[in-house]
Amino acid sequence: MWNKIFLILIVSQLFFRGALPAQNSHTPKPKIYPRPPVYGIPAKTLPKGKLIYRSYFTFSDYTRMINPEKTAMTSLPKGLNFRSYSYTPKLRYGLTKRITLIANFPLYFKQMKNNGNTKTGIGPGDAVLALLYRFHYNKPGKFLISGLLFTKYPTGKSSHLAKEDLPLGSGTYDAGLALMPEKEFGKLDVRASVLYIFRSRNAQNSDLGNVQLFSLSTAFNFSKNFITEATILYKSSANNKTDGEIVPGSNTFMTQFIIGAQYRLAPTLLIQAAVPVTLTAKVPFQSWYDIWLGVFYLM
């Protein structure tokens, strides 16, 4: 009798196993739903072999300029119009799980009209190559700290300009370091960055001054597909020199409040938009606000 019971159990087990769908021993990986920043560089590194293509279009209509005494900003004189358009393809590639390569290749169209005279600049700007390194990652606490090694190359035309040409780059080789902490609190993301850039002398024998940049961002994930963001950005430069002499009043600064949003069209495809609003500035040319439209795609 026990032999019959044992046989019935074995047969029933085989029957039910055959009735159930076969389970794949290789469980498919869950879909990736990245939460990238709308504006700026994320602290998150990419998995090894992953590639992000990101590009954005910007439009600036400059309405103010620094006055001849270089002490304050003033409205553009009557008859002077200055607009700038740019398109920047950006690539990010995971070399290892801790190191991500970043490359930016901006393209510009600038036009300045001054009482019938027109100056134009069209072509590539200064290329950027950077390495992002993740120092620390506390996965349960959703907290990470990354560092950035930043380099910029004078690929944008900046010297030997014709009288009708506008410069497209600074003409300097730049290098910089940044520290970027990031923390997720459920649906809320908080990011910060501190960047210092060392700039070399350009072809006009001018030192444009090193650059300091500070930013603080918060992003709120209303849903898996819709994310809003707000950023405070401060940027300044100091010790602008010509022929080794400091140019009085040549220090610059700018504070912006940047509002942005992005919408997920697919798990790894997002459209992004931002409006940087200038709060305070002392720069050669200033627009009260810019328009920024972008696409983010993780391959």
Helices (H) and strands (E) in the chain, counts: 1, 20
Query: Distance between CA 40 and CA 134 in Å, rounded?
Result: 17
Residue 20's pLDDT is: 45
Residue 110's pLDDT is: 94
Backbone torsions φ then ψ of 17, nearest 5 degrees:
-65, -40
Please enumerate in sequence order all residues whose Cβ is within 8 A of that of 134, keeping only pairs 6 or more positions apart, or say none: 43, 44, 45, 97, 98, 99, 144, 145, 146
Residue 143's pLDDT is: 92
| Sign of the dihedral defined by the CA atoms of residues 277, 279, 281, 285, in that order | positive
Which contiguous run of DSSP H or E holds residue 51?
strand 51-62
End-to-end CA distance of the chain: 62
- Amino acid, single-letter form, for residue 65: M
Residue 161's pLDDT is: 85
Residue 158's pLDDT is: 84
Q: Which two tokens stand for residue 227?
A: 């994310």
Q: Of 3, 30, 88, nearest to 54 (Cα)? A: 88
Tens-binned pLDDT, residue by residue, of the chain (299 aa): 444 444 443 444 343 344 444 445 555 555 667 788 888 778 899 999 999 999 999 999 999 988 766 667 888 888 889 999 999 999 999 999 999 999 999 999 999 998 888 999 999 999 999 999 999 888 888 899 999 999 999 999 888 888 888 988 888 899 999 999 999 998 999 999 999 999 888 777 777 788 999 999 999 999 989 999 999 999 998 877 666 666 666 788 999 999 999 999 998 899 999 999 999 998 888 999 999 999 999 88
By the 10 Å C-beta count (0-12 exposed, 13-18 middle, 19+ buried), 276 is classed as buried
Q: Of 159, 95, 85, 168, nearest to 129 (Cα)? A: 95
Query: Distance between CA 213 and CA 233 in Å, rounded?
Result: 7
Please enumerate in sequence order all residues whose Cβ is within 8 A of that of 35, keeping only pairs 6 or more positions apart, or say none: 184, 189, 219, 221, 227
β 290-298/174-185 pair status:
unpaired
What pTM, to 2 d.p., does this model score?
0.82
Which domains are seen in the chain, by residue range? 33-298 (2.40.160.40)
